[in-house]
Amino acid sequence: MQRDSVHGIWSSQFAFILAATGSAVGLGNIWKFPYITGEYGGGAFVLVYLLFVLILGIPVMMAEILLGRRGRRSPINTMRMLAREERATRLWCFPGYAGVLAGFLILSYYSVVAGEVIAYVFRAAAGVFENQTPDGVRSILYSFQGNAENLLGWHTIFVVMTMLVVARGVRSGLEKAVRFLMPLLVILLLMLVFYGMTSSGFDRAVRFLFQPDFNKLFYRANESGSVVFTLEGVWVALGHAFFTLSLGMGAIMVYGAYLHRDASIGRAALTVALADTSVGLLAGLAIFPIVFSNNMAPNAGPGLIFETLPVVFGAIPGGALVGTMFFALLLFAAWTSAISLIEPAVAWLVESRRWSRARAATVLGMLVWMLGIASIFSATGVTLGDIATRIVSLFVVVEHPLRGGIYDSNWFMLIDTLTTRILLPLGGLTVVLFVGWRMRIMAVRDEAGFASRRLFRLWYLTLRYLTPLAVLAVFIVGIIEGFLR
Ligand code: TRP
């Protein structure tokens, strides 16, 4: 069966790989991966995450590309059409709708962090970090993050940048830019890793990242300070495998919709996953030597890259230039990811509502911008407890602000958990169940176009059994744990 995409087609398989890599490689690899690795104790977390990329990430990515290419529309309409074709219920559209919601929620905080990256491009260029101590770098970060108006300005700039590209269509320019700038980012990361090798913390960093200590993953201090067993870290690793590969919300599906028929789905997915994983590991190898050489805390949280890398940029000759380039390339990586976060929603509005791309991008951009304000206040230190206290005090006199438990977390943590740990895995689960159990195997085999029967069987069986069981197991354990607490 042949369908055409109303949104155009990639010029080649390589162009698709570049675009998908542009989507996958982003803040998730360089900002998020190091700080969650730090929070969940290092090596064992990394190992579990790598395992999830292998048994979940790659099969799900292939399933998403396959569905997208077969349906050739936005994820919502693709799922609707394919479900009809298989005489299945419309409930299979769930990953389409959940994906639009997840992409929108993720982008609302993603663009706040990307905004901070823009600010750091200028700070590095201005030489602000020269000869700063780690404490100095940290206080620069804190005073920056304490200023909501400042953050809002940068956030606004990033939202506008993203929507400008989306309004014009994702293909023009994206290929060329990714082909050139992504390798440059890798070179810069390699330079930082080499610099790390010369520092005293390198051995400890390598041990931290690659020597699994499962006690550090499974035992964590709770609020009252006692150490308890928990599988939370495993759940976070699962979520991150989806997040970093842009899976579970239709981003790769919508890019797959623009892929031509004779491209190899397996090779494309493997290439993207390999590139994405390498960048994450390189980022870890760049950042943790700085952490250990300077006796910093690996579990500093979301500010980790802003606290560590500038220390190096301030210490090495030519650091202002290297730092500027690094943050500029990181900004670029975030940009190509952000575009893919909103593309499913834009494609859907264009198809179903007959909106122009420009109109869809403008409306969505304004919504993302508004919701982002909530994440800005998370960065300035406003907790859910503060918000609840404010609301309650409208009605009654509140003696003490609400503290403890969920009140101590913030809006950013709330939507990050909701999207990464729940919506993305559920979306991915639905996709593999549809391909593995609902589509006719003939249709799957035909669309996947594997040259080798053996490889097809391996992928198909993984998709049918291993992948869904792994997601379900983590979910069920997580829910039970939540109830026991
Ligand atoms: N993968 C990107 C990153 O690591 C973020 C991203 C882009 C994403 N598109 C996505 C995450 C879709 C989840 C779903 O920075």
219: which strand partners? 229
Ligand 1 binding pocket includes 341 (Cβ within 6 Å): yes
Residue of 246, 336, 339, 424 to mutate, ligand 1, most atoms within 8 A of C-beta: 246
Atom from ligand 1 closest to the CA of residue 338 = 7
Is residue 2 domain-resident?
A: no
Ligand 1 binding pocket includes 61 (Cβ within 6 Å): no
When the pLDDT of each residue in the chain is averaged and rounded to a whole number, the result is 91
pLDDT at residue 449 in the model: 83
Contact 276, 244 (CB under 8 A): yes
- Tell whether the model's pLDDT for residue 1 goes beyond 70: no
Read off the pLDDT of residues 161-203 as tens digits, 9 standing for 90 and up.
Answer: 999 988 887 666 677 777 888 889 999 999 999 999 999 999 9
Read off the pLDDT of residues 208-223 as tens digits, 9 standing for 90 and up.
Answer: 999 999 999 999 887 7
Is residue 7 domain-resident?
A: no
Residue of 32, 36, 49, 106 to mutate, ligand 1, most atoms within 8 A of C-beta: 106
CA dihedral 233, 468, 65, 234 (to 10 degrees): 10
How many domains are contained in the chain?
1
Separation of alpha carbons 458 and 336, rounded Å: 32
- Tell whether the model's pLDDT for residue 92 goes beyond 60: yes
Is residue 403 domain-resident?
A: yes
Share of the chain above pLDDT 90, in %: 73
pLDDT at residue 121 in the model: 96
Read off the pLDDT of residues 404-446 as tens digits, 9 standing for 90 and up.
Answer: 777 888 999 999 999 999 999 999 999 999 999 999 999 999 8
Closest CA to 83 of 100, 67, 64, 69: 67
Read off the pLDDT of residues 232-278 as tens digits, 9 standing for 90 and up.
Answer: 999 999 999 999 999 999 999 999 998 888 888 999 999 999 999 99
Q: How many angstroms does the Cα of residue 68 sit away from the middle of ligand 1?
A: 17
Long-range CB contact pairs, 198-204, < 8 A, 24+: 199/289, 199/290, 199/293, 200/292, 200/293, 201/288, 201/289, 201/290, 201/291, 201/292, 201/293, 201/294, 202/289, 202/292, 202/293, 204/288, 204/289, 204/292
Read off the pLDDT of residues 13-54 as tens digits, 9 standing for 90 and up.
Answer: 888 999 999 999 999 999 999 999 999 999 999 999 999 999
Ligand 1 binding pocket includes 28 (Cβ within 6 Å): yes
Q: What is the CATH number of the domain that holds 452?
A: 1.10.4160
pLDDT at residue 2 in the model: 65
Atom from ligand 1 closest to the CA of residue 29 = 4
Is residue 1 domain-resident?
A: no
- Tell whether the model's pLDDT for residue 316 goes beyond 80: yes
pLDDT at residue 42 in the model: 94
Domain hosting residue 210, numbered range: 13-484
* Neighbour tally for 184: CB within 10 Å: 13
Under 8 Å CB-to-CB from 56, ≥6 apart: which residues? 238, 241, 242, 428, 467, 470, 471
Is residue 462 domain-resident?
A: yes
Contact 276, 29 (CB under 8 A): yes
Is residue 196 domain-resident?
A: yes
Residue nearest atom 8 of ligand 1, based on CA coordinates = 246
Q: How many angstroms does the Cα of residue 400 sit away from the middle of ligand 1?
A: 39
Ligand 1 binding pocket includes 254 (Cβ within 6 Å): no
Under 8 Å CB-to-CB from 137, ≥6 apart: which residues? 129, 306, 307, 310, 311, 314
Contact 128, 140 (CB under 8 A): yes
CB-facing half-sphere around the CA of 437: CA atoms within 13 A = 12
CB-facing half-sphere around the CA of 123: CA atoms within 13 A = 22
Is residue 375 domain-resident?
A: yes
Q: How many angstroms does the Cα of residue 226 sit away from the middle of ligand 1?
A: 35
